[in-house]
Amino acid sequence: MITSPRTAASSHSTPRGMRRWLGISLLLLAANAGAADGLQARIAQAMQGTTTPAMGVLVIRDGKVAEQAVSGLRRSDSKTAVTRDDRWMIGSTGKPITVAMIARLVEQGVLKWDTPLSTLLPELSAQMRPEYRNVTLVQLLSHRAGLPENLTDAAALDAFFTDTRPLPVQREAYIKAALAEAPVHAPGTEFAYSNSGFLIAAVIAERATGKDVETLMQREVFQPLGMTGAGFGPTTGNQPLGHRAGKPVTTAPRKADDGVPPIYTAAGNLHMRLQDLALFAIDQLAGSKGKGKLLSPASYALMQTAQPGSGSGLDWGVQPSIAGRQGPVLVHGGSDGNWLAWVVLFPGQNNGVIAIANAAEDMGADQATMGVLGGLFAELAPAAAPAAPGK
C-alpha cells in the first residue's frame, strides 16, 4: 500500500454521496499494475477483482492530453461498452470549477473576496448566527467558514431532492437553514469540509448577477474553455450510468443516501467528458505558470495556495508530495455515492491525470482508480526527496 496525507473531514456522519477527499490513499491492485502494455490494459487490469463496471483515464503531459482510454460497460446489466466521448459524473471534483466561476466575477468587479456575509447577504444578517457574519468568500471556498458539511437536519436535506421550486429559490431556502446552524468551530480558525459553504457562495453569485449558477458556470467557465460536453446533474440517455450495490442507478435520487440533490450544482453536481475536465485541468496547470486563459495570475495563485493552517486552497487540496512523488501536488476527488472521480496535477512538471469510474467504494472503484493512479504517478513526477531523519 502506498499512502499520502489524508486531510478530509471524517465521513461517519456524512450523507452518502456528499464526501470528498483532499488526499489519496493509493491501493495498488498488483505490484506491477502500471506495467501493463497501454493505458486501456492498465485500466482493465486495475478493475480486476472489483465489480466496477467501467473506468476512464486521461493523462496530461507537458500541458497537453497525451493519452486517454476507457474500459468497461456503460451499465452492468448491458453489453454496451463505454466510449472516449462518454460523459461521466465528477462529484465534488467540480468544486474548483465553481471557484473559477466566482474568481471570474471577482475579476469583473461583481464580487470581492473579503466582503463579509453580513454585507453580501444583508437581509439574512440579522437571522444568521453571529459567528458567520464576518465570513468571507475565501473562507467559504476553502472550507474555513466553520460550517457543517451539509444541513444537519436530515429530513430538511432530503426534502430538497423532491422540491419542485426553481433551483435558486431552493438554494435560498437551504442557505437560510445552513446559516442558522451552529458552527463546528470558530470561523477562520481551521479546515472543516463543507458543501454548504459552496451553496452559500452560489447564492451570493446568483444575487449579484441575477443569473442562476448553472448559467454562470456555462458563461464563465464552460464556454471560454470550450467544455462543450459539460452539463449538470447525473448522466441520462445513452451514456454511462452510476452504480451502487452492483446495480445501475436508473432513477433520480430521492434522499441523501441516494446521491446529491439538484441544488448542489456548485458543490459538484456536474457531468462531462474526460476531455472537458482535461481542458479545465490544463488551464489550471497553465495558470500556475502565469499563462492561464481563464483567470488572472493572482486568481490562480489564490486557488492553488493552501490557506493558513490548512491543506486546502480554493478548492484544491495542496500537498507537498503524493505516494512518494515530488510536489507540489493539486488534488481533488469527488463522489455522489454512485461515481468516483479524481484529478491530480503536478504543476512543476506540467503533468496530471484524471481517473473516473461509474461506481464508488462499495463496488471497488476506489481500488480500481487508485491502482491506475499509483502506476502513473511514477511517470508524471520525480521521486520525492527522502524525509530527514527523525521526521
The full 3-state SS of the chain, as one line of letters, equals CEECCCCCCCCCCCCCCCCCCCCCEECCCCCCHHHCCCHHHHHHHHHCCCCCCEEEEEEEECCEEEEEEEEEECCCCCCCECCCCCEEECHHHHHHHHHHHHHHHHHCCCCCCCCCHHHHCHHHCCCCCHHHCCCCHHHHHCCCCCCCCCCCCHHHHHHCCCCCCCHHHHHHHHHHHHCCCCCCCCCCCCCCCCHHHHHHHHHHHHHHHCCCHHHHHHHHHHHHHCCCCCEECCCCCCCCCCEECCEECCCCCCCCCCCCCHHHHHHHCEEEEHHHHHHHHHHHHHHHCCCCCCCCHHHHHHHHCCCCCCCECCCCEEEEEECCEEEEEEEEEECCCCCEEEEEEECCCCEEEEEEECCCHHHCHHHHHHHHHHHHHHHHCCECCCCCCCC
Does residue 205 belong to any structural domain of this protein? yes
Q: Rounded to the nearest 10 degrees, how much is the dihedral formed by the CA atoms of 344, 187, 112, 310?
A: -30
Name the domain count of the chain. 1
Domain of residue 270 covers 2-380
318 pLDDT tier (thresholds 50, 70, 90)? very high
Does residue 391 sit within a domain?
Answer: no
pLDDT at 23 over 50: no
Residue 389 in any domain: the answer is: no
In tens, the pLDDT along 113-163 reads 999 999 999 999 999 999 999 999 999 999 999 999 999 999 999 999 999
Asked, for residue 213, whether it belongs to a domain, the answer is yes
Q: Grid cell 444568521 — which residue?
A: 128
Q: Is residue 341 part of a domain?
A: yes
Residue 34: pLDDT band with limits 50, 70, 90: very low
Cβ partners under 8 Å of residue 361, min gap 6: 335, 340
Model confidence at 186, in pLDDT bands (50, 70, 90)?
Answer: very high
Please list the residues that pair with 317 across neighbouring strands. Answer: 312, 331
- pTM value is 0.92
Give the burial class of 91: count Cβ atoms within 10 A of its Cβ; 0-12 exposed, 13-18 middle, 19 or more buried: buried
Residue 386 within any structural domain of the chain: no
* Residue 76, domain member (yes or no): yes
Lowest mean per-residue pLDDT among 17-31, 222-236, 251-265: 17-31
Q: Is 12's pLDDT higher than 80?
A: no
Residue 307 pLDDT more than 50? Answer: yes
**CATH number reported for the structural domain that contains residue 59 in this entry:** 3.40.710.10
Asked whether residue 325 is assigned to any structural domain, the reply reads yes
Q: For residue range 320-379, what is the model confidence (pLDDT) as tens digits?
A: 999 999 999 999 999 999 999 999 999 999 999 999 999 999 999 999 999 999 899 999
Q: Give, in degrees to the nearest 5, the angle at Cα 250 between 155 and 341.
A: 80
- The separation between CA 210 and the C-alpha centre of its own chain, rounded to angstroms, equals 25
C-alpha cell at 135: 465570513
C-beta of residue 382 within 8 angstroms of C-beta of residue 346:
no
